[in-house]
Structure 1
Amino acid sequence: MTELTVMVLRLAFFALLWIFVFLVAGVLRQDIFGPRTKVRRRKDGRSKGNRGRPQSTPAAAPTASGGSVQPGDQVTTAHHAQVVFTSGALQGRVIPLGGQPVTMGRAGGNDVVLHDDFASGVHARVVADEGLWYIEDLGSTNGTFVGDRRLHGAVPLPAFTPVRIGNTTMELQA
């Protein structure tokens, strides 16, 4: 091989090595600090995050016959909802839900810190919107599962349906 060919191969290898280093740093940054989020407003004033959600529906009040919520029912904000951890490091812990979003992940700035190696820094969020409870994956690496389906964006959170983040399982109860 000529000296020029060896020099070009060295430079190409060096460039590929630096690209790999920057890709690894980007993945680590996203895992530790969470994804970069931008709130974009549409022309009608709503944020882009409301797409695909049902339009304004009145919250159903608990029924007079005990007001119990059955598995699979939509839990409205009129109920006193709570997230109950059924497996993992937080098993047995109960998080009451109020009007504020609840973030979950490994980072210390979350409302619920998950001690789970498969959870991202800022993994998911439970939020009330238009009278219903939603869960939203915040760009996690390993995903958030409702039942056996992986989340893509915000979806309504039915009662007593298992939500899995890594080895941690929880469910919404009213």
Structure 2
Amino acid sequence: AERKYIENEFPNYQYIEIIEEDGDEAIPVVQENLRKDDIIAFTGGGNMGNLYHNHEEARRKVFSTFVNNLTISFPQSIHFEDNEDGEIEKRISQEAYSKNPNLVLVARDAQSFHRMLTTFDNKVIFTPDMVLYMNSVDWKFERNGALFVLRHDSEKVVKQTTIDKIK
């Protein structure tokens, strides 16, 4: 969805994708070839915070490296745990993100929008998840019932009493 969005909305730009695992090797190459009007984008998906250290470390590296270009973090959810590790990691991220005056953080839900606004000094905007940019699919079948799917991990935000009422 992100690639389709960029290709459709920025047709004058060449889309070059670098996977996270190649970041350390790719950053110097990108720096050598980067132009002033190039845009850096970091994939979204909901892993901002201290639950997925490797993704957050990659994000910090990109944001604090490409400080002279418009840098966009595609729609994310954010969660720093309310414990010592969460606080330490939040401060490290705040320091890294603050190095980039051209960084735009994109929140994909209202709770994350508020958290980003209160956690970082960067510009924050609110949009739906990028997957919604994709065309809808008409499955052409008759629906019978509903699928009820909720998280049961540390990112779960719905109270059990609310879940019980919905059921």
Query: Could you say which structure has the higher strand fraction?
Result: 1
Larger RCO, structure (CA 8 Å, separation 6 or more): 1
- CA radius of gyration, larger in: 1
TM-score, normalized by the shorter chain, greater than 0.5:
no
TM-score (norm 1): 0.22
